[in-house]
Chains A and B, each alone.
Chain A
Amino acid sequence: MGSKRTTIYVCMGTSCDARKSRRLQEAFSRALKDKGLHDEIDVSATSCLGYCDEGPNILIEPENLMYHNLNEEDVPFFIEEHFIKGNRLENYILAPGNGELKIPDMTDINFFKHQRLVVLRNRGRLEPDSIDEYIAMDGYAALSKVLEEYTPESIIVEIIDSGLRGRGGAGFPTGRKWQICRNAPGNEKYIVCNADEGDPGAFMDRSILESDPHAVIEGMIIGARAIGANQGFVYIRDEYPLAVQRIKKAIQQAEDYGLLGDHILGSDFSFTLKIVRGAGAFVCGEETALLASIEGKVGRPRQRPPFPVIKGLWRKPTNINNVETWANVPHIIRNGAKWFSNIGTAKSKGTKIFSLVGKVTNTGLVEVPMGITLREVIFDIGAGIPGDKKFKAVQIGGPSGGCLPDKMLDIPIDYDQLVQAGAMMGSGGLIVMDETTCMVDLAKYFTKFLYEESCGKCWSCREGLRRMLEILTKITEGKAKEEDLDTLRDLAEMTKYASMCGLGQTAANPVLSTLKYFEKEYILHVRYKRCPAKVCKALINFYVIPERCTGCMRCVAACPTGAITGPRSEPHNIDQSKCIKCRACYEICKFNAIEDVIVDAIVIK
């Protein structure tokens, strides 16, 4: 809208468009220019104004007036009368706009339209610090229902029937896990909420805890009742101060109301919940390392079996689920297993929350039914890639997941299909990358992250990641030979097969999945010493293509080191000795006159 005093909004809804509203818009622009009013009055397109029968329609703001039935021939007369003489043209006035007309409905906005909120249904509505508001939205009703109508065994049956699978990564059926833990020998049992969300770019669990902490608590109480545990722990990383503060307060409120503690809601069931704050080690998201950390030991995974459901905390049966899994439980109890199992695909039920980040227009937290395709999530909900760039890959499932290219975007989001594609559901990170991302550089980034976070217990993970990182660094510096790619692949396979814990077994996924889908890019780096995305500094040299350069000086102004010179209107020149390869000129040039070399000329079989 800018600083202009008035805006004419021309309706471009399908109906008005069919009545030539586009021509009307052009006529307005022309006429305003003729009258010298174009600096004061803006012409803009808008979506359907709602009065399709009377189109084409326009809305004038801030006067809030709607005119209808305008033809392009009427425009000069209209401008003369309305804007210059100040006469309202009563014949054309449809109605004073009510101001709300232009605001789209939530259900018409793609970002919201394709989402289905179950776990996040209270987001943006409830005061997270108010247990009363949670209760008003049927909070703790599932707990009452369980205490009144269910036996522990029938709760488990309900969860099994719902088809709920763990939302933390591997997707183990939640009900079956509960059942194994309930049947495990021993009277003392524990349950744990894994809120140690450590994947770069993932924030699903943090957001649930920040928006609706009571849903997690309620799910845990129900789980404890089913399993027969009287003590639970929320293991949460200390890097999430707001989430820690909110869950802490929520636990306090639940205790005050008698929803936690002895004789919950007057029943014979007692359960207490404690918070354990983790120091933020990635490995502590692995369940056995997490348990060691709760026990006060160094957070390192141990051999399984025995699985935690048989021997967990202090060698007692312990059931671990992540935040999102626990938060699903109250909804299943309240609405029934059948309702839940109607959402999703044959083997993946319910919804999944993703944190949609990276090179995508709408970033944020999205909850979608299982079975939706990655393409719908990225291009409908996320509104695609900003800035006319091309989509390149999406990293799903965090560092342990994989990078999928465009041709894989039509697979439905489903635990098993994703594993088949070489990625995994993971906890729900979705990092979108455009053509300016170098896949080798990306694999290097994740490998470095995992190398730094490896606990070092298994040789394969500790040394494998270190050597992989060395090779990837060599590749990005243009020092690698072709046989290095074979070594890289061998190392990755070895790390996958020889490591003990889930994190070690998946630590090679960034390398394996990029090698699988983006091998050409590796070969370009190794054989031709080129980086097609123009990211690896050692492999790029920017030149001005004289035929394309108009001499507009934009790159000269953008260059931070003064490497670009040239008189205006003549092709510029880049001094290679001063160039730091920051890409500023490449990004700013409107004529594609700054190039590395023509990579397309290199054909790889």
Chain B
Amino acid sequence: MAKLSIEDLKNLRDTMYRKMTNEENPKIIVHMGTCGIASGAQEIYDTIVRELTQEKINVTLKTSGCAGLCSREPMITIQLPGKAPVKYADLNPKKVIKILNQHIRNGVPVADYALAIGSETTY
């Protein structure tokens, strides 16, 4: 990787920002801090990978650190293009499969498993 100049950094920022905010595919984030992993986030991640591969659905699958509410892990966040992100808590593989079917495929969030919609207040 070439070393960046200040100008390169700014360009990279703009490109990446555009890419992240204009995601065409649904985005799934599995929260994998130590707390998440300890409560089974890896199993959730593996389930999602398995289901998506079988069903051949295009999704951007990512991981992140702790989402903050450790007592409700494992958690995932799903964001459909142009929609507010929805956070799900207290998950297990069975619930995840239902969420994939209903939210990713049909675009309807599973209200029973959802913790909240939207993002946190920053700054």
Give min CB distance, B36 to chain A, whole Å: 10
Taken residue by residue from 245 to 288, chain A's Cβ proximity to chain B (1 for < 8 Å, 0 otherwise) reads as 00000000000111101010110000000000000000000000
Binds B, one of A141-149, A533-541, A543-551, A582-590: A141-149
If the complex has contacts A117-B122, A124-B31, are A103 and B116 also in contact, measured as CB distance less than 8 A? yes
Which residues of A lie under 8 Å from residue B52 when comparing CB positions?
A: none
Give min CB distance, A125 to chain B, whole Å: 6
> What residue in chain A is nearest B31 (Cβ atoms)?
A124
| In the bound complex, CA of A102 to CA of B68 (Å) | 22
A135 with B12: CB separation less than 8 A: yes
The CB with the most chain A CB atoms within 10 A, among B19, B35, B120, is that of B120
Other-chain residue from B4, B17, B33, B122 in contact with A242 (beta carbon distance below 8 A): B33
Which residues of B lie under 8 Å from residue A139 when comparing CB positions?
A: 13
B65 with A211: CB separation less than 8 A: yes
Other-chain residue from B13, B111, B123 in contact with A121 (beta carbon distance below 8 A): B123
| In the bound complex, CA of A147 to CA of B114 (Å) | 44
Which residues of A lie under 8 Å from residue B117 when comparing CB positions?
A: 100, 103-106
A363 with B121: CB separation less than 8 A: no
A190 at interface, CB cutoff 8 A: no
Taken residue by residue from 84 to 112, chain B's Cβ proximity to chain A (1 for < 8 Å, 0 otherwise) reads as 00110000000000000000000011011
B58 at interface, CB cutoff 8 A: no
Which residues of B lie under 8 Å from residue A125 when comparing CB positions?
A: 29, 64, 119
Give min CB distance, A385 to chain B, whole Å: 13
Which residues of A lie under 8 Å from residue B86 when comparing CB positions?
A: 100, 103
Binds B, one of A82-90, A108-116, A161-169, A227-235: A108-116
| In the bound complex, CA of A112 to CA of B120 (Å) | 7
Which residues of B lie under 8 Å from residue A127 when comparing CB positions?
A: 62-64
A133 at interface, CB cutoff 8 A: yes
Which residues of B lie under 8 Å from residue A105 when comparing CB positions?
A: 116-118
B65 with A257: CB separation less than 8 A: no
A109 with B19: CB separation less than 8 A: no
| In the bound complex, CA of A540 to CA of B25 (Å) | 61
A207 at interface, CB cutoff 8 A: yes
A107 with B118: CB separation less than 8 A: yes
A211 with B112: CB separation less than 8 A: no
A136 with B17: CB separation less than 8 A: yes
A38 at interface, CB cutoff 8 A: no
B20 with A365: CB separation less than 8 A: no
How many chain B residues touch A (CB < 8 A): the figure is: 49
B56 at interface, CB cutoff 8 A: no
Other-chain residue from B19, B77, B123 in contact with A136 (beta carbon distance below 8 A): B19
Which residues of A lie under 8 Å from residue B122 when comparing CB positions?
A: 116-118, 121
Which residues of A lie under 8 Å from residue B70 when comparing CB positions?
A: 363-365
Which residues of B lie under 8 Å from residue A116 when comparing CB positions?
A: 121-123
Which residues of B lie under 8 Å from residue A206 when comparing CB positions?
A: 34
A106 with B119: CB separation less than 8 A: yes
Which residues of A lie under 8 Å from residue B123 when comparing CB positions?
A: 116-118, 121, 331, 335
The CB with the most chain A CB atoms within 10 A, among B2, B69, B87, is that of B69
If the complex has contacts A140-B9, A256-B1, A335-B123, are A364 and B116 also in contact, measured as CB distance less than 8 A? no
| In the bound complex, CA of A323 to CA of B2 (Å) | 29
Other-chain residue from A102, A107, A265 in contact with B121 (beta carbon distance below 8 A): A107
A124 with B77: CB separation less than 8 A: yes
| In the bound complex, CA of A124 to CA of B31 (Å) | 6
B48 at interface, CB cutoff 8 A: no
B120 with A106: CB separation less than 8 A: yes
> What residue in chain A is nearest B103 (Cβ atoms)?
A99
| In the bound complex, CA of A147 to CA of B4 (Å) | 13
B12 with A99: CB separation less than 8 A: no
Which residues of B lie under 8 Å from residue A265 when comparing CB positions?
A: 4-6, 9
Other-chain residue from A100, A111, A118 in contact with B69 (beta carbon distance below 8 A): A111
| In the bound complex, CA of A588 to CA of B6 (Å) | 65
B116 with A104: CB separation less than 8 A: yes
| In the bound complex, CA of A352 to CA of B46 (Å) | 35
B6 with A266: CB separation less than 8 A: yes
B71 with A364: CB separation less than 8 A: yes
Taken residue by residue from 120 to 134, chain A's Cβ proximity to chain B (1 for < 8 Å, 0 otherwise) reads as 110111111100110
| In the bound complex, CA of A210 to CA of B120 (Å) | 19
Which residues of B lie under 8 Å from residue A345 when comparing CB positions?
A: none
Which residues of A lie under 8 Å from residue B33 when comparing CB positions?
A: 207, 210-211, 242
B67 at interface, CB cutoff 8 A: yes
A366 at interface, CB cutoff 8 A: yes
If the complex has contacts A100-B109, A100-B111, A257-B1, are A210 and B6 also in contact, measured as CB distance less than 8 A? no
B114 with A103: CB separation less than 8 A: yes
A362 at interface, CB cutoff 8 A: yes
> What residue in chain A is nearest B110 (Cβ atoms)?
A99
B59 at interface, CB cutoff 8 A: no
| In the bound complex, CA of A139 to CA of B9 (Å) | 9
A366 with B6: CB separation less than 8 A: no
Q: A135-B13, A203-B35, A212-B65 are in contact. List 5 more A-B contacts (CB 8 A).
A: A115-B68, A118-B123, A123-B65, A127-B62, A210-B33
Can you identify 15 A-B contacts, CB atoms within 8 angstroms? A61-B111, A106-B116, A116-B121, A137-B17, A140-B9, A141-B13, A207-B33, A210-B33, A211-B65, A211-B66, A256-B1, A259-B4, A261-B3, A362-B71, A364-B71
